[in-house]
Amino acid sequence: MPPEVRVIGIEGMPEFKDGDDLAGPMMDAALAQGTPIEESDILIVTQKIISKVEGKVVKISDVEASPLAISITEGHRRDPRHTEWVLRESKRIVRMDRGVIISETKHGFYCANAGIDASNIPGDDTLALLPDDSDASARRIRQAVKNRLGITVAVIVSDTFGRPWRNAAADIAIGVAGIDPIHSYVGQMDSFGHEMFTTEIAVADELAAAGELVGGKVAGVPVSIIRGYDYEIAEDASIQRILRGTEKDLFR
Amino acid sequence: MPPEVRVIGIEGMPEFKDGDDLAGPMMDAALAQGTPIEESDILIVTQKIISKVEGKVVKISDVEASPLAISITEGHRRDPRHTEWVLRESKRIVRMDRGVIISETKHGFYCANAGIDASNIPGDDTLALLPDDSDASARRIRQAVKNRLGITVAVIVSDTFGRPWRNAAADIAIGVAGIDPIHSYVGQMDSFGHEMFTTEIAVADELAAAGELVGGKVAGVPVSIIRGYDYEIAEDASIQRILRGTEKDLFR
């Protein structure tokens, strides 16, 4: 059998709000569409629905814009209070230009606008912030699947980030549970018997990207199942393993 | 039917060398393993085999190290002539630190060591450079499939690049044929009727990442098929659409 990985979107999930159970409706919807969650599946859960059930949807009008936020936003279409939220979610500004803020978020991610966005949430006055601890969010879903179905899965929380040097954005991992987010070939031999000194692959990011292929921004597919991928189970997995840390990075 | 995308690795391809036909053995191997290439498939072809058939495998000893290459390499494990090759493939040095060179390659990519590497090629004195024009490489494969099988596919040439801020590397696209590498939602409404102002997804990069999931660095799966993904056909596609260009980037 040739190696094959399947990426299956879960449709038909309800709209979520603060405090809702996410894992239950996810398992229900997968079953209802004829693709029940199976042992060793990887669930790719997009950040937006996590933020919704964890109460991370906020009102723009709940903050007052600081002079800095007003000054940054001047001449741009954005509400300065939106910018104020971006500043509050950041711990370090990396670049600031033409209304774009690239920062290190309080969670340790490097991204535009602290990962905050206004799409696919109800209301004109609302923003979705990133979950406080996406690893913990992933672990809760993994445990809920274990409790109800008695099976072991991996869970990746994904979000859409822009990248330096390349136009458009791509989905990457912001939280993991039950899977080592990096596959290391260090010390292994290549197909010609040369030792591969440095090859490490960020499989969690590649899996998140693959999950997006059945999602889409308007399609109502907030979760996908990746089946058939042979990953390394890690009970103590954390996205911290992928985050490089300021001191080692050349693009601080 | 729930949305589903399949990623199928092609095994059993021969070792390639300069001048070999690549598309023929690829179609043969897909057929031999029971997953013949089909209309609308996306073929993800890893850079290394393209470089091999296009004569981009070079000898380290074919160049002499310049004083700059010697100075950069001092105290590091690398052969200074390897560094000389990196300099020759670069058009601008972006960062240079601790033996790592991040440059803009002569093709316009931003990556470490000008995309040159020494793994999975025969010989101890050899390096694989990036193809001269990966869009053209992708177009040739697409045309060969059209000629022999009478079907229209898309082709993406992929390579493994490191990223700022995140540990480990991930596969991205360096050449495309027959597919718009970016899917734009600009002007569309989200599920709550808000216009999405800026969302563009680099689908070619996500597809390349998905392709890697069945590849692996030592597995001998240099090509994968992605089936079931509804992409936008673009006859004049080019990876240039993803490359941001120096003047617009905040991390030059």
Check which CATH number belongs to the domain holding A100 and give it: 3.90.1660.10
**Domain shared by A42 and A98, yes or no:** no
Mean pLDDT for A75-103 is 91
Give buried/exposed letters for A130-153 (b at 16+ CB in 10 A, else e).
bbebbbebbbbbbebbeeebeeeb
Structure confidence at residue A55 (pLDDT): 97
Structure confidence at residue B198 (pLDDT): 64
Strands A42-46 vs A57-59: parallel, antiparallel or unpaired:
unpaired
Chain B residue with CA closest to A245: the answer is B165
Categorize the per-residue pLDDT at A195 as very low, low, confident or very high, splitting at 50, 70 and 90. low
Residue B248 covered by a domain: no
Strands B110-112 vs B100-105: parallel, antiparallel or unpaired:
antiparallel
Q: Please check whether residue A19 touches B, CB under 8 A.
A: no
CB A145 within 8 A of CB A27: yes
Residue B205 covered by a domain: yes
Structure confidence at residue B1 (pLDDT): 87
CA distances from A46 to A51, A94, A150, B48 (A): 9, 25, 23, 33
| C-alpha B189: how far from chain center | 32
Structure confidence at residue B192 (pLDDT): 67
By C-alpha distance, which of A19, A21, A40 is closest to A29?
A21
**Domain shared by B79 and B29, yes or no:** no
CB B155 within 8 A of CB B224: no
Residues 167-186, chain A: which have Cβ within 8 Å of B? 167-172, 182-185
Residue A201 covered by a domain: yes
Categorize the per-residue pLDDT at A215 as very low, low, confident or very high, splitting at 50, 70 and 90. confident
Categorize the per-residue pLDDT at A219 as very low, low, confident or very high, splitting at 50, 70 and 90. low
Torsion of CA A48, A212, A208, B217, to 10 degrees: -170
**Domain shared by B163 and B101, yes or no:** no
Residue B199 covered by a domain: yes
Mean pLDDT for A147-176 is 97
SS3 A221: coil
Residues of chain A contacting B124 with CB distance shorter than 8 Å = 194
Residue A149 covered by a domain: yes
Number of domain units in chain B: 2
**Domain shared by B112 and B235, yes or no:** no
CB contact under 8 A, B160 and A34: no
**Domain shared by A185 and A235, yes or no:** yes
Strands A223-227 vs A4-10: parallel, antiparallel or unpaired:
antiparallel
- The Cα–Cα gap between A49 and A59 comes to 17
**Domain shared by A181 and A67, yes or no:** no
The CATH number covering residue A10 comes to 3.30.1330.100
Using the 3D structure, point to which of A73, A101, A127 is the last residue of a domain. A127
SS3 A141: helix
Return phi, psi of residue A149, to 5°. -105, -10
Distance to chain A for B98, nearest Cα, Å: 10
Structure confidence at residue A245 (pLDDT): 79
**Domain shared by B190 and B176, yes or no:** yes
- The Cα–Cα gap between B162 and B159 comes to 10
Residues 80-99, chain B: which have Cβ within 8 Å of A? 95, 97
Tens-binned pLDDT, residue by residue, of chain B (252 aa): 899 999 999 999 999 999 999 999 999 999 999 999 999 999 999 999 999 999 999 999 999 999 999 999 998 888 999 999 999 999 999 998 877 899 999 999 999 999 998 877 777 789 999 999 999 999 999 999 999 999 999 999 999 999 999 999 999 999 999 999 999 988 777 666 666 656 899 999 999 999 999 986 666 899 999 999 999 999 999 999 999 877 778 888
Categorize the per-residue pLDDT at A205 as very low, low, confident or very high, splitting at 50, 70 and 90. very high
Residue A1 covered by a domain: no
**Domain shared by A231 and A121, yes or no:** no
Structure confidence at residue B123 (pLDDT): 76
- Distance between the two ends of chain B, CA-based, in angstroms? 46
Using the 3D structure, point to which of A127, A144, A167 is the last residue of a domain. A127
Structure confidence at residue B86 (pLDDT): 96
How many CB atoms are closer than 10 A to CB B197?
12
Interface predicted TM-score (ipTM): 0.96
CB contact under 8 A, B169 and A201: yes
Residues of chain A contacting B200 with CB distance shorter than 8 Å = 167-169
Element (DSSP H or E) covering residue A92 = strand A90-97
Amino acid, res. A219:
A
Enter the tokens of residue A110: 């490097």
Using the 3D structure, point to which of A90, A111, A127 is the last residue of a domain. A127
Structure confidence at residue B136 (pLDDT): 98
Nearest by CB to residue A244, choosing from B11, B166, B192, is B166
SS3 A48: helix
Distance to chain A for B16, nearest Cα, Å: 13
**Domain shared by B122 and B139, yes or no:** no
Dihedral (CA of B151, B152, B157, B158) sign: negative
DSSP E strand stretches across B122-235? 126-128, 154-163, 166-177, 183-184, 200-201, 223-227
**Domain shared by B181 and B93, yes or no:** no
By C-alpha distance, which of A116, A117, A131, A115 is closest to A176?
A131
CB B82 within 8 A of CB B125: no
- The Cα–Cα gap between B103 and B90 comes to 6
With tokens 């997995």, the residue in question is A237
Question: Is the model's pLDDT at A198 over the cut of 70?
Answer: no
For chain A, percent of residues with pLDDT exceeding 70? 95
Residues 212-231, chain B: which have Cβ within 8 Å of A? 212-214, 217-221, 226, 229
Residue A251 covered by a domain: no
CB B154 within 8 A of CB B142: yes
**Domain shared by A160 and A239, yes or no:** yes
CA distances from B6 to A203, A210, B27, B210 (A): 17, 10, 18, 9
Residue B249 covered by a domain: no
For chain A, percent of residues with pLDDT exceeding 90? 79
By C-alpha distance, which of B225, B200, B154 is closest to B11?
B225
Residues 48-87, chain A: which have Cβ within 8 Å of B? 77
Residues 92-151, chain B: which have Cβ within 8 Å of A? 95, 97, 100, 102, 110, 118-124
Query: Which residue range(s) make up the domain with B121?
Result: 58-127
Question: Where do the H-state alpha helices sit in A58-184?
Answer: 67-73, 80-88, 134-149
**Domain shared by A137 and A174, yes or no:** yes
